[in-house]
Every structure is written in structure tokens, then in C-alpha cells.
Amino acid sequence: MAYIDHHGFDWTHPSVAFPLIGNICGDIPFPDGIVRCSDAFNAGVKLGLHELLAKIADESEDEARKLSPLLQWSMLEATRVAIEMAEIYRTAKEVDEPPPPLSTALDKRASSTVELCEWAVRHLIGGNHPVHQRCFELGRWGAAFFSEWLDELERHAFLVAHADVLADSLRGMLVPILAKFQPFDIEPERTCALRGFFRRIEVDSADTLAAQSQQIRSISASDLLSAFRDHGASWLDEVVPAVLHTVGELPDMALDWGGMKESILKIFESGCRWPAIMLSQNGRYGVGMVDEPLRSLLVPVQDPNIEVYFLDQKAVASFWVKMTWSELQNRLSPST
């Protein structure tokens, strides 16, 4: 990110440390560069809360003074989202317009967040994914209720004022989904989160679901929104495909081949004969193992000093390929 170099920030600065700690802990806004319904919703909540706080702070100096600490924290959360959006733009062919930068300037902090939200809907998600767009917008406009950063009284006051509008948006998303999918025909282990959400709104069978899809408006706005807050959008991930982008050629990276090979040897020595190098949708490299169900179909690695499995998740239909280290290095370092 250009601002890090421009201001001379290092890893001890909050703007660097906070996103870094999140990545180390696995709390990444868009894991592997893929936009799921839950990712879109959570990103909407983070950006929406910062947008809301910035607009309130702009109303008066007194509000700005009281909200200053919270605004600094919400800016860090929004920055984490912005960084991941910029990474997806850097690697995705379909996203041809860069995300607008966030600003801490008093006259731009609210408007820059609005512009980033609009970019996310139009470019990161796109018009071919209306459910993901609705998830993002629901999180954005309902951030004061869905976020855990405000106390219960503040969330309740916001809900009383905005429940009907938010619930109508949620119903508009749910009705076509309920009409299209029959989750009770899918194996329970594949729809655990979805069934949990349905139980929360008292739908426990296919017959009830068929009736409820036509009478979804009978559920009170507060009950419907509370159920969605408790379960988030993770249940939608079980029935709505994620937003996938076509990833172009990645810029050369200084890969630690020695470190990756050492990790592969340790995996092999621990007893797994299918160690693997993995390239994620967003250009991140990692070390792991071939998925266990596929191991019976794939020939094990004989000598990890010579060969290793490779998974390229940039392709929508990704698959495992066994390659020599030299073949893999040539593939991942096109300029060498």
C-alpha cells in the first residue's frame, strides 16, 4: 500500500500492525480472494459502521470529539477491508477499475467510505451477483445493529428506527432464495448453518418452508433481523455460490523456495505422502496437504526432494498436479 511507504510506517504502526495481526490470526475479510455472502455482509458491516460514525462526527465538533477514538478503530477495520479489496483488484481480470482510497481527512473520511462501498457493489461483486450485493448493502445500512461495537441500548434504538426498511431488504433477498432452493432435500451436514437459521425463524420442515416462502412477511421485522444478526450470512454460503474472478498473470514474487521445501519435507516425514504447495485465488502461497478424500485417487509422492503436489486455486475448476520442484519453480516464476 502506497501510504505505508509514503509515511514511513513500519510493522509497529497500527495501520500496519492491525491488518497484519488479523492475517496472522486467520481473520481475513475475503479468504483466498473469494467473495462469499458472509464475506460481503461482514465487509458491509465494517465499512458501514465507519461511514455512519464519520457522518455523525461531521455533524458537530462535540460529536467528533466524543467519537474520535471509535473512529480511529473503525478506520483500522475499514482499512483491513480496503487492503483485501485492492489485492483482489490487483489479480482479478474482471475488476478493471481500482478501488478508491480511504481517507482520514476530515472533509473526505465519510465521502471516501461511500465511494469505496459503491465500488464494492459495482466492481468487486458486480451485477451478476444480486444476493451478494444485497448482503453487502444489508450489512452497510444495518451496521449499527449488526456490529458488536455498540451497546445494546444503541443497537435497540437503531433497530426501532430502521427495522422495517432493513427487514424489507432482507425479505427481498430471502423470498427468491427460498423459492429456488430446497435445503431440506440436501444432506443435513451440508446445511447446518442454514437449518439453524430456519429453526430460529420457526421453519423446521420442507412443508413449513414452502408455506413460509410465501408468507415471509408474517415474521416480525425485529425477529427476522435478530435471527440474521445471530447467524450472520454464513448459512447463505451453503446454498449460494461465491463470487469467483478470473485471475490474470501474477507479478513475480520473491518466494522462499528453501522455506517451502523444508515445510514440505516436514509434512512428508510426519507421515503424509501427499504434501502440497497451494496458490490461492488472491495470489497467496501456502503449504499443506492434498485433501484426504482425494488421496486414494492420486499417486503418493515418492521423494519430496524431487517432487511435490501443486494446487492452483486461481482456476475456478482447480485440481491437484504432481510436479518436480524445477517444473513448479518455472511455472511460478515466469520471468526466470
Which has more confidence, 204 or 335? Answer: 204
Is the confidence at residue 108, as pLDDT, over 50? Answer: yes
DSSP 48: H
What are the tens digits of pLDDT across the range 23-67? 778 788 998 788 999 999 999 999 999 999 999 999 999 999 999
Mean pLDDT computed over 136-160 = 93
Q: Is 280 helix (H, G, I), strand (E, B) or coil?
A: coil
Task: Measure the CA angle with vertex 141, ends 137 and 144; round to 5°.
Answer: 135
Per-residue confidence band for 291, with pLDDT thresholds at 50, 70 and 90: confident
Is the confidence at residue 316, as pLDDT, over 60? Answer: no
pLDDT for position 211: 56
Distance CA 227, CA 133 (A): 20
Per-residue confidence band for 204, with pLDDT thresholds at 50, 70 and 90: low
pLDDT for position 214: 56
Per-residue confidence band for 283, with pLDDT thresholds at 50, 70 and 90: low
Distance CA 34, CA 177 (A): 21
Ranking 106-115, 138-147, 210-219, 297-306 by mean pLDDT, the lowest is 210-219
pLDDT for position 309: 94
Distance CA 47, CA 75 (A): 8
- What is the dihedral angle through the alpha carbons of 171, 174, 179, 183, rounded to the nearest 10 degrees? -140
pLDDT for position 131: 93
Contact 80/29 with Cβ under 8 angstroms? yes
- The C-alpha cell at 184 is 431440506
Mean pLDDT computed over 223-236 = 88
Per-residue confidence band for 250, with pLDDT thresholds at 50, 70 and 90: low
Distance CA 172, CA 160 (A): 20
pLDDT for position 239: 84
Ranking 97-106, 152-161, 205-214, 316-325 by mean pLDDT, the lowest is 205-214
Is the confidence at residue 126, as pLDDT, over 60? Answer: yes
Mean pLDDT computed over 325-329 = 89
Mean pLDDT computed over 79-89 = 90
Is the confidence at residue 336, as pLDDT, over 50? Answer: no
Strands 285-289 and 320-324, bridge-based pairing: unpaired
How crowded is residue 59: how many other Cβ atoms within 10 Å of its Cβ?
A: 9
pLDDT for position 248: 65
Contact 71/53 with Cβ under 8 angstroms? yes
What are the tens digits of pLDDT across the range 297-307? 889 999 999 99
DSSP 320: E
What are the tens digits of pLDDT across the range 169-194? 998 888 777 767 666 666 666 677 87
pTM: 0.76
Which one of 131-135, 187-191, 201-205, 211-215 scores highest in mean pLDDT?
131-135
Is the confidence at residue 195, as pLDDT, over 80? Answer: no
The CA distances from residue 64 to 69, 92, 94, 111, 236, in Å, are 9, 38, 39, 16, 37
pLDDT for position 206: 57
Per-residue confidence band for 282, with pLDDT thresholds at 50, 70 and 90: low
